[in-house]
Structure 1
Amino acid sequence: MTISNQSMSTPNSISSNTSPANPFTMTNMLKWSALGTVALALLYVVWGLYLAGEPLFAIVILALCVGVVTIFGQAKYYTARFIFPAIAAIGIFIVLPVIYTSYIGFTNFGSRNLLSFERVTGQFLRAVSVDKSTERSFKIIADGENYQIFLTDGDQTLATQSTPLDGVPHELPLSIATLPDNEPLAMRDVIKLRTELAQVT
């Protein structure tokens, strides 16, 4: 009878000593903190893509965020953690580009057509063409802190007044002149003044 009493008391003692797992352990807190940080970062990317007018890529990143939180947040998906990164990488970097490129190939959504109307209009307005018959060779000669522009028009040499090239719009009249003996600016120096020369008419 003594043996049976001891054997019967053993399960009771085991059940009484068993307590539910504490969810607030240091390991769990670190895991959920890391998952929360990753989820917030991915949601920030989703929001940025949505504001940039890329809802398709925003949905893909949102699906990635849900997959990361679900698989790495629940213990029952422990085995899937080993293959999820590979599947996600294949889907994002191989499958999605192939599908998206194939879709673009059968539409008129080229890189230029994906721009907004305002940006396309701005590109066309910035495009200029120069009449070849109006092109003239020119030289720029430094005159202290000012510059003088010399144009060749057939047998004549036309020159502007000595003026500073400071980026302020200037309307300079031309007059017949003689090319001085001073050394003109080298082409690399002329290129540096390209922005200022664009303001001279």
Structure 2
Amino acid sequence: MTREDIIAFLGDHALLRGIPAPELRIAAASIEPVSFEDGRSLLVEGDTGTDCYFIKRGSVQVSSRNLVGKTLLLAELGPGALVGEIGLLRSERRTATVTAIGDVEALRLDRRSFELLAERSPLFHESLLLTVRIRLIHRLLRKASIWADIPRRRTPRLGGDHGGASDEERRRSRSGRRRSRPLLYGRRGARRSTGGRTAKGAA
């Protein structure tokens, strides 16, 4: 891929529209075309983030471990997607692993190029912030939920399976208690004997 191809790709990208050509050229000078074979990792969860990638061709899988150590598939992304931006924006370790699905071609941006694009394009920066917020919320909900992989049809019986009563069993129990409740009082107006005296019953 030539430098002109990189500039054309950046100029056509929705996040980078409006950036003057001279500034795109400055950023493109530090952008490196890279390729990944099927199954290779572009990013690894927990690593320090020093770069990010625009996916040029092919698809990638985004995954992360939840709170009980199970790997969850979070997304599959195709051409035009940007990955690794969370670590650069927040100066934190990688929050997910990104793996190539088949052969992948990408453009690698180092921190300097990334910050230049973010500084020169308010739209790029604002769109990135919104994307990061949405991704972090989505990942938090997926990773925090221990029920994420349990089929919906199984959840009503969880209580019964672990020794508790099911909904149907609780309904039958309540119905039985209502039918078997002892009659403590007589019908309104009825009279009963109370130790030799007579008294009116109460409802």
Q: TM-score with structure 2 length normalisation?
A: 0.26
Higher relative contact order (CA 8 A, sep 6+): 2
Q: TM-score with structure 1 length normalisation?
A: 0.26
